[in-house]
Amino acid sequence: MPYPTPTPLVADLVERLEPELRQDFEERAGIIEFDGGQPRDLAECLALIDVLRRFPGALIGVAAVRLETAGESHILLTANPNAGFDLAARKGGVVKGILDLQAAVNELGGICVLSEFHDSSNGESP
């Protein structure tokens, strides 16, 4: 049985979570409420804080995906993390992880220039 709809205090934030993180939130809230004996409102707040502690960019809607293709490492900034997996598959590469946005910028010297990406293998943007 899925976890009940979150209270209004956190519902709008939970709506912005990716499905995997929402499931993580629901599991954590259930554990805190039922196993920890906490009131539902408190359990939801604590569960959301825990998700955000572990995934600080969860509400941003942008991910930094590390790709390795042809022996080179790249960081793809995307609103659709699946685009990174698709690009890696087309290029014969692999996704090495999803980075915190701040970590990605720091890794690139602390400042980055963004531009539109064109995949030369299909002439489209991912």
Domain ranges of the chain: 8-54, 62-126
Residue 112's identity, in one-letter code, is: C
pLDDT tens across 28-53, in order?
A: 999 999 999 999 999 999 999 999 98
- The answer to whether residues 98 and 104 touch, using CB atoms and an 8 Å cutoff, is no
Instruction: Give φ, ψ of 83 to 5 degrees.
Output: -60, -35
Beta-carbon contacts of 83 under 8 Å, excluding residues fewer than 6 positions away, are 65, 76, 126
Predicted pLDDT at 126:
46
- Under-70 pLDDT residues of the chain: 1-5, 81, 121-126
* pTM for the model: 0.60
